[in-house]
Structure 1
Amino acid sequence: MSKPRRISHSILLSTLLVTASFATENLGIIGIDSTTIDDRFTSKQTEVSNTATISGETVDEAHIENIQQVLNRIPGITTEVTGGDKFKLHIRGVENQRYMGEKPGVAVVIDGVPVFERTGSVNIDLDNIESIKVVKGGASYLFGEDALSGAVIITTKKGAKNSYSAVGVEAGSFDYRKYLLRGGYATDTYNFYVQGSQRTSDSFWENGGYDNKYLNSKFQYYIDDTSDITAGIELSDRNKDSHGTVKGVTEAETNPTSAYNGTGDRDYARKFDVQLAKYFLTYAKTINDSSNLLVNVYQYNDNTNFISGPIKYDTSGAKVTADDAYGTNNDYFQIQRGIKSELRTSGETFATMLGLDLRDNYYENKTNILQSYCTRMGATACSNPNNIKTAGTITGNDETDENVYALYGELKYALSNDLVMTGNARYDRITMDYDDTLNSIQIKKTFNVGSYRLGTTYALTPSSSLYANVSTGFRTPTVSQLFAGDIDPTNTKVESNHALKPETSYNYEIGLRGNTSWFDYDMAVFMIDRKDYIMANVGQYASTDPANPLYTATQYDNIGGMRNKGFELSLNTDRKETFFFDVAYSFIDAKFTQYDNFNLTLGNSYGTYVSTLTNPASQYTIEHYNLTGNVVPRVPKHTLNLSVGYNYNEHLLLTTELNAKSNYYADELNRIEIAGQATLNLLANYTAKIYGYRFEAFARIDNVLDKFYYNTARASGDANSDGIFDAEDLSITVNPGRVYTAGLSVKF
């Protein structure tokens, strides 16, 4: 009977062959580092893109409530926490201007499964992470749709080393609680574990509490000395209410918890009930000394229910102030199924990878009116039945079948002992079949999209290398962007555009990586140019203009452009040393290169349109702007994460962390600037092994100095209807301030 250690070595034989020694006499065996399925290929020595990896041990040691707290250690990454451990992430400032739940411009893959949630956010069980790998730059050459600025590949724990048992409990500020129970077992031929966890909190914000439950299991079977099969399942049940937003800087000061009193802001969407299920099966086979095969089959289910659209006026036209007065119930269901396979070869001169990606996705969306209301203000307007929405009315019932057929590959060729060229290419055929049963509409659309990467690495010394690449990413139009007028034929304010093209990003990058006797380093300069950017003709989240024939209806078109350029630096030392540190710094200059049309609404958009505003409480007007050259909002130019650790002895680890970012604009007009901020965090970990049991206790303090700042700040119009667009129109989520967390766990 084979030993797991020997089998594991056999399965990873190609990984060992991948490692290229940058000795000037001989480059050695080269291989493919890229994969969309697993994390077993982790060499950076011939990688032509800027990448970063965070180990599961680092995540476990951080004792975080959300993944933002570790992703801060990667330069160029920004995240928006939407409650608990759920987050939306951005790379190099791409899509920071979006905030209504759209896709983030980043491909997210968990255990080979391309994950896309209805709200644009991502969730992951933080207690089950083996590694997080970030690939920056256009990454559609591997991952396809939406990899405009890169990809995040998360692998969960598996293998004999993770077949341990454990119990754990944590507690913290705002009645935060975490409970974990894990059981595992390993033999010479198989290993498995089952883990359940729960995170719950009352939250700093009014109605901001959450309750997240996870159940994970993974089974790995060693078929023979050269192959294994892994089956995994992850179930989650997540309940979250409000994000905790307030309206304007005054309320942020006086009512930071967003306690609702009938006059404050209400989140656009609330009361999320999300049930997720992920199933996958991965087969790995070492064919011979220079080739291997990976095959992954998966299914990902997302059933999301939430309410949206705060009601402004009742059926008589009177103002509504009730906290739970929302107009729409949303019931969304999706199934993502697929199969991926990758075949790799390695050699002294060249290496190859050929991949196949087949997806069968189904999306179903149903909406209905929760409470009767009027879409305008005043009794006169509400006497018109066209302005009344009646409770129980079905407003949406549609489904979309999406199929993806993609072939991709990579060729790596050694031109000399020091110079390696890498080429990637991918071809996607994407078909969408839309069926609106409410309006008896059936629409089909097909896109054929190619993407690529071309790069090189050059060994300057045995311990340093120069790398450069150009790569692309793409995003196809959504059904609503393509067929808005067809889907809602009675709405004269929206128009279809069947001629929409996919958006493309072009990433240009040059970097230097290496190591010294003291630290590892990686630095890169980059530029991401976005072409054929899909934008509404009236601007992002803006309004139509009744007085201008060009903007009386909203239509999406390839009329926008952006350019993000900057510099990134990471320095990392050995965490086993008595003192160690990590530095992540980024500079990003992001601007609109084409943004000709933006309609700013001033006054009450539910009131009467006038050309000259005299009573903003009951009237509104539209101002037109050209925002070409403006800075992309919510992208700080400078961000810095500095982490310093001290191993006091073999049991006690002390860590301090500084997070800082510079000023940024909250709006596309660049009128409202948010001050920069810096926060300090402290963490103490104590571990001890007693009678074969590994005990770990920790205490963590975030925002030690109790700094007041905003987690998010955004604005796109006159939210308080006073006829002026200023800081009082911001939608703000205030940081909770100083937060304490402590816990105890036992592994055996």
Structure 2
Amino acid sequence: MHRSVIPVATMVAGAWALVAAAEPTALDALRIESTTIDDRFGQRRDEPSSIAVISGEEVDRSHAENLQQILQAIPGITTEIQGGDSIKIHIRGVENQRYMGEKPGVAVVIDGVPVFERTGRVNIDLDDIESVRVIKGGASYLFGEDALSGAVIITTKRGAQKNKVEAEAGSFGYRKGLARAAGQWGDLVGHIQASTRQSDGYWHDSGYRADYLTGKLQWFADEQSDLTLGFERSQREKDSHGTVTGITQARNDPRSVEGQDYARRYDVDLGKVFLNYNRDLASGMNWLTSIYRFTDHTRFISAPQRFDARGRAISDPNAYTTGNDYEQVQQGLKSELRGTAGRLAWLGAIDLRFNTYDNRTFNLVDYKTSPSPRAPVRYAGEVTSQDTTDETVTAAYGELRYRATDALTLTANLRQERIALNYDDQLRNLGLDRSFDQTSWRLGANHALGKDADLFANVSTGFRIPTIQQLFAGTIDPQGSTASNPALAPERSLTKEIGVRGRIAAGIPLRYEAALFQIDRNDYIVATAGQYAVPETGEVNRYENVGGARSRGLELALNGIVNPQWSFDLAYTLLDAKYTSHANFNLLLGDRWGGNYLIEHYDLLGNSIPRTPRHHANLRMHYRPSEPWLVTAELDTVSGYYADELNRLRIGGYTLVNLFGSYEIRRGRSMTWTLFARIDNLFARDYFNTVRASYDANGDGKFDLEDASLTVNPGRVWTAGFNAQF
């Protein structure tokens, strides 16, 4: 299925006039397409929300190194490369203001499981993707917690696949190898696939490696039912994100050893296993059930060392004080039953989750936190924290669709859940708990404007519960500067959206979608004495529901076939994201370690949210001169943005040209060879992948771009390779 696409405003107006004159036509039989388990139900015309779909074939053809290169063609999405093929996803400007490892405000769902990775990153084997579906707007009515701005649903490949081998090489020592074996044995189909990706990286210490072993076995028990067993084992290693400090160093020596990421040397072991059962029942009903277990064991180092055990300054960029050992287990059961009854279609479901998060930190070296003779020495090997958080989610959700007229379909979603958190600190024999009862919903409508176009609209909600650390900061760390606040309420989002989608068959065949949206975030959790620095005024710092933000804008997309040789995809986003409440931002100026500093207080009301470009356009032109050849040229342009909450540090925009090409060689009916090449940033444009700044990092008493953390783009990057399917 092709992803939704959208025209420019004038084209929308022309399409509207065209379809308004058309005669209404009855839609296909009404059915529920929503699911949280897999993608076996396609996007339908009566869908009331903006949805984009990228097929596994598109992902395979892109030969991308990371998911960013795929998602940038979807309006409303911004991504941050976190190193290698690991990225952080944002939708419509939500959570672009955060950067210390929080959740992304997007439900990232892999094979039906909302996956929470400790630093908000997405780790996925790009070679095992069956489809990527993006639902925009508050999506907690389906996926629960953290779906403030939407959901990215990734489904891995199903059983029957061809045998395949593939090899790639590219810039900065990039290498990839893949082998897949597939077969069918009566009613059983399955495959097993092994792949490896690695790179030396452009920046100092930015190399990475990712090894995957995946497989699926699907049993078609009869004409009405099938059973699918899937598994994955992944081992990943990566070091630095490649940031440097200050615009001067970014311009003169972007690959330098200078500068330190707060956390480095990640060693990640991921595993998953799931079993899905699907059955078509009498009277058009369907039953879909999944049980799963996902594991994530992550080890890394953090907290750059500034002083040794005698209080002397440390300048070694490889010196860190803290070892981190984090392990999470996500396991649960989902079951969905759907059916139809005349003009009504319905879905009823349950979602049970039993998640465990174990965290252990320890000192790597002897050190002090300040040069003061009175500062205590922290000794190597000392365990500084050891705790477990158990999370239990009990939820029921459903959807009703009603065909009010032949042209009008009304949709209502509701999800009710209880989330129970239980915290156990093994070092202090401390137990804490808190529960949240949450209701999420969506109301929407889709009106057919003739046989080729639809007007859709919806209002939807999202939420995020407070963390244990926000609720009980002072109880967990009595010596710290932040008090507990167990009365914290969940953050909420409310999305309003209206749009039009359809196709124009006359002249050049076109498909389009356009949407206007507004997301209001309420009860945003902010530290009362300032998010990044606490004034020495004696005021009590704690987390409160005092912040707010609003994102509003326009998303447009369009694809078309000019002639048998030429086709195109166009996506455009206009985004305005601002703070509606954030009265306690504190800017630290001077040397925080030497004690010679001051703190300035600001109210961020009306400021633009950092790293939210106002304009983003992506155009892909596809040219097929003859059957074996396919050439794609991509133009990606991003306007300027602010790197900081105070809106002092402006980063210029950029325009990139990327180029892909492939050539197929067929041998008989069963053998296909493909040669391919990809060049990103063809003209070696200088720009920054990401820029962040929040305080006077160099301690000179000024706040400017010399205090920013910048990741410089590596410039022109190429990959080339081949694959064979048989």
Shorter-chain TM-score bucket reads over 0.9
In structure 2, which of residues 527, 530, 540 is the aligned counterpart of residue 539 of structure 1? Answer: 530
Map 1:330-729; keep pairs closer than 5 Å: 330-376=324-370, 378=371, 381=372, 383-386=373-376, 388-491=377-480, 493-517=481-505, 518-540=509-531, 542-546=532-536, 548-550=537-539, 553-574=540-561, 577-608=564-595, 619-691=596-668, 692-729=670-707
User: Once the 2 structures are TM-superposed, how far is the Cα of residue 714 of structure 1 from its aligned partner?
Assistant: 0.4
Q: Distance in 2 between matches of 1:512 and 1:661?
A: 25
Question: Within 5 Å, which residues of 2 pair with 1:55-94?
Answer: 55-94=55-94
1:248-259 alignment, distance < 5 Å = 248-257=246-255, 259=256
| Residue range with higher mean Cα deviation, 141-150 or 621-630 | 621-630
Q: Which position in structure 1 is the counterpart of 2:16?
A: none
TM-score scaled by length of structure 2: 0.95
Distance in 2, Cα, partners of 1:159 & 1:438 = 47
- CA distance in 2 between counterparts of 1:130 and 1:347 reads 31
Structure 2: how far apart are the matches of 1:439 and 1:671?
Answer: 44
Map 1:71-470 to 2 at 5 A: 71-160=71-160, 162=161, 164-257=162-255, 259-260=256-257, 264-376=258-370, 378=371, 381=372, 383-386=373-376, 388-470=377-459
Gaps of 5+ in 1: 1-21, 609-618
Aligned CA distance change for structure 1 residues 580 and 526 (closer, same or farther; 3 Å) = same
Cα distance in 2, alignment partners of residues 302 and 292 from structure 1: 32
Normalized against structure 1, the TM-score is what? 0.92
Measured in 2, the distance between the counterparts of 1:348 and 1:91 equals 37
Q: Secondary structure at the match of 2:58?
A: helix
Which amino acid counterpart does residue 662 of structure 1 have in structure 2? S
Write the deviation string for residues 202-251 of structure 1: whole angstroms up to 9, x where unpaired.
Answer: 00011000010000010000111100000000110000000010001100
Retained in 2: the 8 A contact 1:568–1:587? yes
Does structure 2 retain, via aligned residues, the 8 Å contact 1:113–1:299? no
Note the C-alpha offset of 1:384.
1.1
1:14-93 matches, cutoff 5 A: 24-93=24-93
Deviation at 1:554, TM superposition (A): 3.3
Letter in 1 for 2:385: G
1:745 corresponds in structure 2 to 723
For 1:27 and 1:244, how far apart are their aligned partners in 2? 52
Report how far residue 720 of structure 1 moved.
0.8
Deviation, 1:543, is 1.0
- Following superposition, the deviation at residue 604 of structure 1 comes to 1.3
Residue identity matched to 1:592: Y
Summarize deviations over 1:479-524 as a string: whole Å, max 9, x none: 0000111101233x12110100001000000000000121100000
Cα distance in structure 1, aligned partners of 2:561 and 2:144 = 35
Aligned with 1:461: secondary structure?
coil
Q: Distance in 2 between matches of 1:688 and 1:347?
A: 50
Shift of 1:572: 1.6
Query: What is the distance in 2 between the residues matched to 1:73 and 1:572?
Result: 11
In the alignment of these two chains, the number of paired residues is: 701
Deviation of 1:44 (Å):
2.9
Question: How far off is 1:159 after superposition?
Answer: 3.5
State the 1:23 CA deviation: 7.5
**AA paired with 1:513?**
R
Amino acid in structure 1 at the alignment position of 2:557 = S
Inter-partner Cα distance in structure 2 for 1:83 and 1:25: 50
**Counterpart Cα distance in 1 of 2:357 and 2:43:** 37
Q: CA offset at residue 346 of structure 1?
A: 2.3
Please tell me whether the aligned partners of residues 29 and 347 of structure 1 are also in contact (alpha carbons under 8 angstroms).
Answer: no
1:722-742 CA distance string (max 9 Å, x none): 110000001000000000100
Contact 1:73 1:641 survives alignment (8 Å): yes
3-state SS in 2 of match to 1:65:
coil
Judged with a 3 Å threshold, the aligned counterparts in structure 2 of structure 1 residues 256 and 457 are, in CA distance, closer, same or farther, namely same
Listed one character per residue, the Cα deviations across residues 13-62 of structure 1 (whole Å, up to 9, x for unaligned) are xxxxxxxxx98353342011111001011123011000000011111111
Letter in 2 for 1:282: N
Match of residue 612 from structure 1: none
Query: 1:289 Cα deviation (Å)?
Result: 4.4
Q: CA 1:622–1:334 in structure 2 vs 1: closer, same or farther (change >3 Å)?
A: same
Asked if structure 2 preserves the Cα contact closer than 8 Å seen for 1:31 and 1:347, the reply is: no
* Mapped contact 2:192–2:215 kept (Cα < 8 A): yes
The question of whether the paired residues in 2 share the 8 Å contact of 1:29 and 1:346 is answered with: no
The change in CA–CA distance for 1:42 and 1:28 in structure 2 (over 3 A counts) is closer
Q: CA deviation at 1:535?
A: 1.2
Query: What is the Cα-based RMSD across aligned positions, in Å?
Result: 1.3
Tell me if structure 1 keeps the 8 A contact 2:369–2:375. Answer: no
Q: CA deviation at 1:318?
A: 2.3
Partners of 1:185 and 1:575 in 2: how far apart?
Answer: 39
Residue identity opposite 1:601 in structure 2: L
Question: What's the CA shift for 1:573?
Answer: 2.4
Q: What SS class does the counterpart of residue 70 from structure 1 fall into?
A: helix
Structure 1: how far apart are the matches of 2:533 and 2:636? 37
What amino acid does structure 2 have at the position aligned with 1:398?
Answer: D
Do the aligned residues in 2 keep the contact of 1:585 with 1:639 (CA within 8 Å)?
Answer: yes
Give 1:574 deviation, angstroms: 5.0
Distance 2:685 2:599 in 1: 38
Q: Distance in 1 between matches of 2:521 and 2:239?
A: 35
Aligned counterpart, 1:3:
none
- C-alpha displacement at 1:578, in angstroms? 1.4
Whether the 8 Å contact between 1:603 and 1:718 is mirrored in structure 2 is yes
- The structural deviation recorded for 1:313 is 1.9
- Partner of 2:616, secondary structure, is strand
Give the 3-state SS of the residue equivalent to 2:98 in structure 1: coil
Q: Distance in 1 between matches of 2:159 and 2:217?
A: 8
Q: Is residue 25–residue 450 contact of structure 2 (8 Å, CA) maintained in 1?
A: no
User: How has the CA–CA distance of structure 1 residues 28 and 693 changed in structure 2, closer, same or farther, with 3 Å as cutoff?
Assistant: closer
Q: Alignment partner of 2:449: what SS?
A: strand
Conserved? CA contact 2:168–2:176, under 8 Å: yes
Residues in 2 aligned to 1:333 and 1:48: alpha-carbon distance in whole angstroms: 39
Q: Is the 8 A contact 2:688 2:712 kept in 1?
A: yes
**2: CA distance between counterparts of 1:385 and 1:71?**
49
- Aligned-partner residue type, residue 412 of structure 1: R
Alpha-carbon distance, 1:577 to partner: 3.6
